[in-house]
Amino acid sequence: MDLDSCASGDGTRRKMDLCAVAEGTVEVVPLEMYDSARAKIDANLRWLFAKAYGIDHIPEDLRDPFYTDQYEQEHIKPPVIRLLLSCELYCRVCSLILKTEQAAALQSHLCVIQALSRKGIYVVDSDDAPVTDEDLASMPIKMSAHMPMIDALMMAYTVEMISIEKVVASVKRFSTFSASKELPFDLEDAMVFWINKVNLKMREFTEREHKVKQHPLESPSHQKVRPEVLFLSLSFCLTAT
């Protein structure tokens, strides 16, 4: 299913088996039934709302972007569509991320697109064609245009919040590496570097825990690795100056 058909309500909402919930189990949706278009829209919109309002202050009617009609067809809620078409949320989030951009100067989809492009971030669709302000204001709404817009804002947030230096500093908190061979050369490489180091450390932790269970008297408790340290390091990436 494509993004625009999902927005127009051609998708049927899949409800979780209530019996499974009552029994404390969660039904795993088979891959062939997984609606990636819906999941993409849901995740992007929730991120946009969290950044625009704050995670604890999202208006009640926006907490779930979808509603289901009497025919069991799922649609994006009208208030959500109005906000996207009006560009209000885009302007607010862009001004919060790109602090050099004055909020008053961002009053249209085009202003946001231009502000992002000045940072080297371009709003393009799946075919690498530029998304225009006409696409973003089009009715019926084109979610295939709005998703790249939100993706671009996500990238801007990542660029503003995370640096290569912060990632390297966080890795030093729980791992070692060769500065001459492993130092990342750009932001994407830095995140792959961090993920790889976390995976290696988690594998070490798992193997060590397995040995402890097999030979509990041979593994002093003070040598145990706390996995939460690895994930706290990501928080360090996002907040360190």
**So what's the pLDDT on residue 13?**
45
Cβ-contact 49, 62 below 8 angstroms: yes
Cβ-contact 143, 6 below 8 angstroms: yes
Q: Would the pLDDT of 23 be above 60?
A: no
CA separation, residue 16 to residues 1, 19, 28, 107, 217 (Å): 20, 9, 9, 41, 45
Domain spans, the chain: 3-161, 164-239
**So what's the pLDDT on residue 77?**
96
**So what's the pLDDT on residue 182?**
87
Contacts of 150 (CB under 8 A, 6+ apart): 44, 45, 47, 48
pLDDT band at residue 57 using 50, 70 and 90 as cut-offs: very high
Model pLDDT for residues 70-80, shown as the tens digit of each residue? 999 999 999 99
State how far the Cα of 214 lies from the Cα of 51, in Å rounded to an integer: 47
Residue with token string 């030979």: 215
Model pLDDT for residues 165-212, shown as the tens digit of each residue? 888 888 888 888 888 888 888 888 888 888 888 888 888 888 888 887
Peptide bond into 30 cis (omega under 30): no
State how far the Cα of 84 lies from the Cα of 105, in Å rounded to an integer: 18
CB count within 10 Å of CB 7 equals 26
